[in-house]
Structure 1
């Protein structure tokens, strides 16, 4: 996985993962795997998509949906979330959410947490991360080069998606050490740390402009 260098002065768009990046999530993937019969070494969404029996697939998707909606109703904004989104709005950055959640659950989380992001891309729209399709589509939609879009997430899939799209990435660690951290262009403990980096850069540009 290639690490794409971040030039913060060139960034015109910030795209976010949703769960445990913008809002909290307590999705229990081990429980879901047990309910659906998915082995631990296979991606859950991939497993469901490859189920031979349509009834089994529908049942599995409903179990996941119910769990996602329950999680949405109990989610809370992550540290620095609203402050960073306010900065993005004030400075006219393009922004969006790319999530492996279904659209219904993602919209519920955005509404429940009053996030001012209207562009939501879910697993129904493009192949789920780490596929780069959604990121590339956004860059094309906004008329931006890959290096002008920063993708922010909390998991290796997010870093892989950004790398596959030839885009810089930001890993939000929440103070934890991850074996995949070195694949991120930049690591921050919380979103307010990322906000500080952009604020400092904006102030530097103002003082030299």
Structure 2
């Protein structure tokens, strides 16, 4: 159980990719079964722990093929473009941290003509729930982690944010999720997050004006 980091002044936003910004139909239970991985085991860890290089490469390539096929049929999530437009207007930096391979991530982002200051795939850092990628982006942006919001749809996203000392936003997509209480913010769709960020920016401006007076 992870207690969420309080969400106050947000100066940067990092996103998960699948079912946060674009749709994904990846069935990891089916894929685990195909690759001989138990349900309880993280698939990427299972493959990385295989000592036989040939087999490890073979299974890794199968995962990449599956991800690329999913990328080609993906659609953009509701209100994604409006949220990203708002963040650009406010000059708030954005990034993507995904467990996808680099090829699939680039294919999805390019296909939907999305723009980010940085895109990090699993080849660059240990995959979520490890916080390494989030912390590296915070360092690059020269922002305190507590001022960066990580947005995702799964428990790994919330855990990565917690370990990076970042507030998190859980996008439920209308589902009842068992880890909802571990998120700093909970929204059904991204338009609600846009509203929350607008309200925070307004409140911050009001506080600033009152201090000046």
2:92 is aligned to 93
* Uncovered stretches (5+) of structure 1, i.e. residues with no partner: none
Following superposition, the deviation at residue 152 of structure 1 comes to 0.2
- After TM superposition, the structure 1 stretch with the greater mean CA deviation from structure 2, 34-43 or 111-120, is 111-120
Distance of 1:129 and 1:88 partners within structure 2: 24
Aligned to 2:69: 70
Match of residue 36 from structure 2: 37
Name the CA distance, whole Å, in 2 between partners of 1:196 and 1:48.
41
In 2, distance between residues paired with 1:19 and 1:3? Answer: 22
Task: Tell me, yes or no, if structure 1 residue 164 matches structure 2 residue 163.
Answer: yes
Q: State the secondary structure of the residue aligned to 1:92.
A: coil
Moved over 6 A (4+): none
**Counterpart-to-counterpart distance in 2, 1:134 and 1:126:** 6
Give the TM-score normalised by structure 1: 0.95
Q: What's the TM-score, normalizing by structure 2?
A: 0.94
Structure 2 equivalent of residue 16 of structure 1: 15
Q: Could you tell me whether the CA contact under 8 Å between 2:93 and 2:117 is conserved in 1?
A: no
- Within a 5 Å distance, the mapping from 1:45-124 to structure 2 comes to 45-124=44-123
Shift of residue 204 of structure 1? 4.3
Describe the SS at the equivalent of 1:47: helix
Equivalenced residue count is 207
**1:106-126 deviation line (CA, Å, top 9, x unaligned):** 000001111112411010000
Secondary structure of the 1:187 match is strand
Q: Secondary structure at the match of 2:170?
A: strand
Secondary structure of the equivalent of 1:14?
strand
TM-fit CA distance, 1:205: 4.6
Give RMSD over aligned pairs: 1.2
